[in-house]
Amino acid sequence: MQSATDSFLECNAQGLRQAKELEMNRRNAHRQVMKLVLSVSLWVPCWTALAQAMPLDVLHWWTSAGEQLAVEQLHASLLLSGVRWTDVAVPGGGGMAAVKVLKSRVLMGDPPDVAQLIGTTLTDWNDMGLVMPLNAVANRQRWAPTLFPTVMKLVTYKGVVIAAPLGIHRINTLFYNRHVFTRLGLLPPANWEEFEGVAHKLSAQGIKPLAWSDEAWQIATVFESILLGEVGPERYRELIVNRKSSAWLEPGIEKALTRLRWLRNINGDTPKERAWTDATRDLASESAAMQIMGDWAKGELMAWGANPEKDFGCVAVPGTQQMHLYSVDTLAMLSSKNKRTATQEKLAEVVTSSPTQLAYNRAKGSVPVRADMDVASLDSCARDSWSVFAAPGSARVPSLAHRMAADEATKDAVAQALWRFLITPQMPAKAAQRRLASAVRAP
Ligand code: BGC
């Protein structure tokens, strides 16, 4: 007789084969990403016997190829426990649009059963009484002694567990194209001086040093990594977590802003606002040699068939070695008229279990939230991220651009100030510092 594990692996393999076929079709159909809605119904023949409960509506912004393959891992594991998931996927990197859709659904009295709510947005929604407590699951599954303390702290608010964590992303990641670097005899840069040397050689060969997009959230993602390297974790916390306004007027910030402007102009072309996947595409196609982005870009490159050991590599953004600028993805169960508590609790239990953690994070580019896992089977980027996050001596600091440190309005105001600085070449860095100092409002 087949064991539950055998059925799980068999169903997972079948799901992944279908995901791969769909991915091929998707590419052939001119990369129409949004048409890749890998519906649960495709897997139903395999899972019918296992899945009986009403599906849960899950609102999220994982719509790129890599993100959708990661979501497929969740579908597969959940189906084994009888939980079906209906995708409410809202396109838009960084979740700007998804947060707006969530707001309007709540205002219309029709919240989804589950939502990708992360960082401070979690506590904001919880304060409105919309988030279902998960203490019972957390106790049963022993989250407190099993999850990384930083993660446990992030999902706990006033003693109540308010979300199920999925994975830890590293924001301060510098990707590089291994083929380009090998061909030109380059080494990944460990500091900005080396970065400048590498950029110079790349430009001389007609290769753009850094894949870039002018979208405000992507600018903020690059900036916070530079800032961390420039001022170090203690000062970073003062600026980003404590939001000490006067600290934003100091010389280190001017240096970080000047570096940001320099990076934006390094390719010598006119920067454009475009999806992060388009910038990552530049890296994959060798039209650019590096990219600074959260490691969901690794998941994307892998979904396109690239291999982190052969085709691309990742190192910490210059100056941030042994530092982990994190963003933790979490799912909140929303209270609604649907009364699906048992199924929602099951979802929280399954997504944090070891097999699901491995399968999901492998595809997503992030690393597991559990400290008790063997990560030897993960790729070298993930192992590096994991060991830096786990090491007692490392600095773990929260991402502002990805909602780990401040409310939505503050995050947006900072991103807008940075974007305005970049698109206004005559604006001195000192003027941008004043804007930033007023954008951060101490909590
Ligand atoms: C989320 C990631 C997502 C990325 C790009 C981040 O804010 O945490 O899960 O892949 O945005 O959309």
What's the rounded mean pLDDT across residues 267-271? 95
Residue 57 reports pLDDT greater than 50: yes
Residue 83's nearest CA partner among 112, 125, 51 is: 51
CA of 94 to the centre of ligand 1 (A): 5
Query: CB 307: neighbour CB atoms within 10 A?
Result: 11
- Token output for 11: 């169903």
Residue 429 reports pLDDT greater than 50: yes
Question: pLDDT value at position 49?
Answer: 40
Residue 302 reports pLDDT greater than 80: yes
Ligand 1 site, residue 93, Cβ cutoff 6 A: yes
Protein residue with least CA distance to atom 11, ligand 1: 94
- Of the pLDDT bands very low, low, confident and very high (cuts 50, 70, 90), residue 336 is confident
- Of the pLDDT bands very low, low, confident and very high (cuts 50, 70, 90), residue 337 is confident
CA 49 to CA 300: how far, in whole Å? Answer: 32
CA of 118 to the centre of ligand 1 (A): 10
Ligand 1 site, residue 296, Cβ cutoff 6 A: yes
Q: In whole numbers, what is the pLDDT of the chain averaged over residues?
A: 90
CA of 431 to the centre of ligand 1 (A): 30
CA neighbours closer than 13 Å in the CB half-sphere of residue 206: 0
Protein residue with least CA distance to atom 12, ligand 1: 93
Task: Say if residues 346 and 83 touch (Cβ distance below 8 Å).
Answer: yes
- Of the pLDDT bands very low, low, confident and very high (cuts 50, 70, 90), residue 52 is low
Residue 194 vs residue 336, higher pLDDT: 194
What's the rounded mean pLDDT across residues 283-312? 98
- Token output for 335: 């209270």
CA 249 to CA 419: how far, in whole Å? Answer: 18
The pLDDT tens digits of the residues spanning 181-215 come to 999 999 999 999 999 999 999 999 999 999 999 99
Question: pLDDT value at position 53?
Answer: 66
Single-letter residue type at 344: Q
Question: pLDDT value at position 3?
Answer: 38
Protein residue with least CA distance to atom 10, ligand 1: 296
The pLDDT tens digits of the residues spanning 340-363 come to 899 999 999 999 999 999 999 999
**360 vs 226, 247, 355, 357, CA distance in Å?**
29, 39, 9, 5
Instruction: Give the atom of ligand 1 at the shortest distance from the alpha carbon of 169.
Output: 8
Task: Say if residues 432 and 439 touch (Cβ distance below 8 Å).
Answer: no
- Token output for 157: 């608010």
CA of 48 to the centre of ligand 1 (A): 31
For the question of whether the overall pTM of this predicted structure is more than 0.75, the answer is yes
CA 118 to CA 114: how far, in whole Å? Answer: 12
CA 114 to CA 59: how far, in whole Å? Answer: 6
The pLDDT tens digits of the residues spanning 371-409 come to 999 999 999 999 999 999 999 999 999 999 999 999 999
- Of the pLDDT bands very low, low, confident and very high (cuts 50, 70, 90), residue 24 is very low
